[in-house]
Structure 1
Amino acid sequence: MDVMRVGISAALGLLATFGLVMLMYTLIDSGSKELDEGPTIKIPDFLHVDRDVSENVKKTEVEKPEDPETPPPDIPEENLEFEVPDNVVSMAAPKVGGGMKVGLGSFSRDSDYIPVYVPQPQYPRRAQTRGKEGYAVIEVIITSTGGVRDPIMIEEYPEGWGFGRAAVKAALKLKYNPRVVDGVGQEVTGVLYKFTFQMAK
C-alpha cells in the first residue's frame, strides 16, 4: 500500500510540473509574437545646428565738456620790491684798510652792517583786490647780533591801505650782519628800510 501511494504521488507531481512548463512556454511565445507584431517606433535623431553668437555690447560715449565762453578772471600776482630810501641809509662796505688792528698774537676787523635776509611782506588784501600800489618806510634798530627791534613806521603812501602795518610786520624779520668795531658787535639805531608794494603787470 505504501509503495502504490508513493508512486501515484510521484506521477501526479510529474504531470503537474509538465503542465506548468507547457503553460509558461505558451505565455512566453505569445508575448514575444505580440511584441514583434506591434508597430515600430522610430526615435528621431537630434540635429545639432551651429549658431553664430554675437555680442551685444553697449558702448557709452562720454561727451567732452564744452569750453566755457568766458575764462575766469586772472588774479593779479603780488610783486613786492624792497628799496632803501636814497640818502637815508648808508650801506657801507666792510672797511679793509685802516679797519685792521693787529695786536700781540691777535687781530680784529671792523665792518658795517649789511642786510643778509629781507622778508616778503604780506600784500594787504583790500589793496590787492582794489589794485592799489604803494610803499612804506620803516625805521628799525639793528642789534649787536644782527637782529632787528622796535620797528616804527615813518612814512606810508597812500595812507589807509595797510601798507605800513604790513611793512612793520615784515621789518621784524630783517636779518643783518651787525656793525663790528674792534671785533665787537655794535647796536645801530635809526636805520630806515623802504618796502614797495606793486601789482604784477
Structure 2
Amino acid sequence: MWLLRYTVAASLALLVTLALLLGMQGLISTVGDTPDAEPRGKLADIWQPRRSIEEQRKTPKPDKPEAPEPPPPSPPDIQVNVAVPVAAVSMSLPSVAGLEIGMGGAFSRDSDYIPVYVPQPDYPPRALRQGLDGYAVVEVTITTTGSVRDIKLLEEYPTNRDFGKYALRAAEKLKYKPRVVDGVAEEVPGVLYKFSFRIAR
C-alpha cells in the first residue's frame, strides 16, 4: 500500500518538476535577447497619484523687481530763513470783554491769527549759481479759513535774481489759524512776510 503511495507521489513530483522546467524554458526563449554584459540600473517602483494638467503646471514666479535708481545728487546746503512778523503772534492775555458766565450765557474767545504752516521757498537757480544771498518781502491777506489771497511782492534784493518770484510761490502755500473776534473769523489784510535766502558757507 505504501509502495503505491510512494510511486504516485514520485510520479506527481516528477510531472511538476518537468512542467516547471518547460515553463522556464518557454519564458527564456520568448525573451530572445541575451542580457547585456553590464547590469542595468534597478528601477524603483514609484506610485504616483493621478493628477490633472492644471495641477501639474508650475506656477510662474513673479519677475524680479528692478533695482531702484540711485537718488539724485543732493544740492549744496541752502539755508532759507523765514521771518515771522512781530504782529503775527499776540502774546497778550485773551480778551474777556465778550465773556458771559451763567445759565444760557454765550462763550466766545477772541484770538489773533497764528501761522500754522510756513513753506520753505526754493532757491533761485541763477542766484545759486552766482552764490548770491538775498531776501523778498511779500504782502498777503489772511482769509477766514486761514488761507491767503491778494499776494503782492513789495521788495526784493538783489533785484532781477528771482528772489521775489520764488517768494511769491512759497507765499501761496502759507496757512494760518484765522483771527477770531466775538467767535467769528475775520479777514486780515496787509500781513507782511520776509523770506530770506542764504547759502550755507
* Shorter-chain TM-score above 0.5: yes
**Matched ranges for 1:135-150 at <5 A:** 135-150=135-150
Contact between 2:142 and 2:191, CA under 8 Å: does it hold in 1? yes
Gaps of 5+ in 1: 1-73
Contact between 1:94 and 1:110, CA under 8 Å: does it hold in 2? no
2:122 partner letter: Q
**Matched ranges for 1:19-168 at <5 A:** 76-84=76-84, 89-93=87-91, 95-102=93-100, 104-168=104-168
Task: Return the alpha-carbon distance in structure 2 between the equivalents of residues 98 and 177 of structure 1.
Answer: 20
Task: Return the alpha-carbon distance in structure 2 between the equivalents of residues 191 and 147 of structure 1.
Answer: 12
Task: Return the alpha-carbon distance in structure 1 between the equivalents of residues 75 and 116 of structure 2.
Answer: 31
4+ residue runs over 3 A deviation: none
**Please, what is the CA RMSD of the aligned residues?**
2.0
1:144 partner letter: T
Task: Return the alpha-carbon distance in structure 1 between the equivalents of residues 123 and 135 of structure 2.
Answer: 11
Superposed CA deviations along residues 63-87 of structure 1, whole A, max 9, x for unmatched, are: xxxxxxxxxxx9532110001356x
**How big is the shift at 1:93?**
3.2
Contact between 1:143 and 1:188, CA under 8 Å: does it hold in 2? yes
Gaps of 5+ in 2: 1-73
Contact between 2:95 and 2:109, CA under 8 Å: does it hold in 1? no
The reply on whether 1:196 has 2:184 as its aligned counterpart is: no
Count of residues paired in the alignment:
126
Distance 1:146 1:95, change over 3 A: farther
2:94 partner letter: V
**How big is the shift at 1:144?**
0.6
Whose radius of gyration is greater, 1 or 2?
Answer: 1
